[in-house]
Amino acid sequence: MELYKKEFGPGPARYARKTIAKWRTGKVQPATQTFERFLVHLPKVMSYDLKCEVLRHFMEEYASKETYELDVTTEDWERKLEPLVRQIIEKAFTAQLPFEVERQLEWLGDGDMQAAQSILRASQAEEGRIMVSTLRDEFYAMEELLDQQHLKPKVTHMLEFPYGAIRLNVRRTQ
């Protein structure tokens, strides 16, 4: 908002600050002029890091996200989960912004933003791989819980990726 105020003045900044929460919830649509100021003109003076953060937000906001549900046991979870995780991680490399967004926001097509998008995709894929690598410890703990004879626990575990989610229903191996 400080950058917006510096570029466009205190009046427009005050209006933006007062209505930004309504924009986020969809109660109010920003005026065309405000939209253009934020996403067309402001990027000309934004830092590279801020542009990268806006790019990350756009990619996560506009990319299609699917939610999957998978029934697994403490023995077969890796075999069942691996292909689905691979599919979701691959979305990091294939996700595209809608044509209309890219057309209106020409700065996203600049060379440095194309490089940032490649880096973003690789980092999101790596985030997914790291998350999955920690699952072994989590499944060890779930297995101990499920092995308690006096309990009949129902364990669900949610895996959240930038481009999808998997709900695991974990049961004891029979």
* pLDDT score, position 129: 79
Per-residue confidence band for 70, with pLDDT thresholds at 50, 70 and 90: very high
- Judge whether 168 and 157 are in contact, CB under 8 Å: yes
Average pLDDT over residues 90-119: 74
For 105-114, b/e burial (b = at least 16 CB within 10 A) is: bebbeeeebe
Q: Which of 34, 41, 43 is nearest to 12 (CA)?
A: 34
Using one digit for the tens of pLDDT, what is the confidence trace for 1-58?
Answer: 777 788 788 888 888 888 877 877 778 776 767 766 666 666 676 777 877 777 777 7
**For the sheet containing 155-161, what is the strand order?**
66-73, 164-171, 155-161
The DSSP bridge pattern shows strands 155-161 and 164-171 to be antiparallel
Q: Where are the domains of the chain?
A: 2-45, 66-97+122-171
Residue 88 CA to residue 166 CA, distance in Å, equals 9
Model confidence, pTM: 0.61
**Which SS3 state, helix, strand or coil, does residue 68 take?**
strand
Cα distances (Å, whole numbers) of residue 80 to 12, 75, 83, 120 = 53, 10, 7, 27
Token code pair at residue 53: 């953060």
**What are phi and psi for residue 163, nearest 5 degrees?**
-120, 20
* pLDDT score, position 61: 76
Range with the lowest mean pLDDT among 64-68, 88-92, 101-105, 142-146? 101-105
DSSP assigned state of 75: T
More confident residue, 43 or 71: 71
**What are phi and psi for residue 149, nearest 5 degrees?**
-65, -35
Place of tokens 């060379």: 111
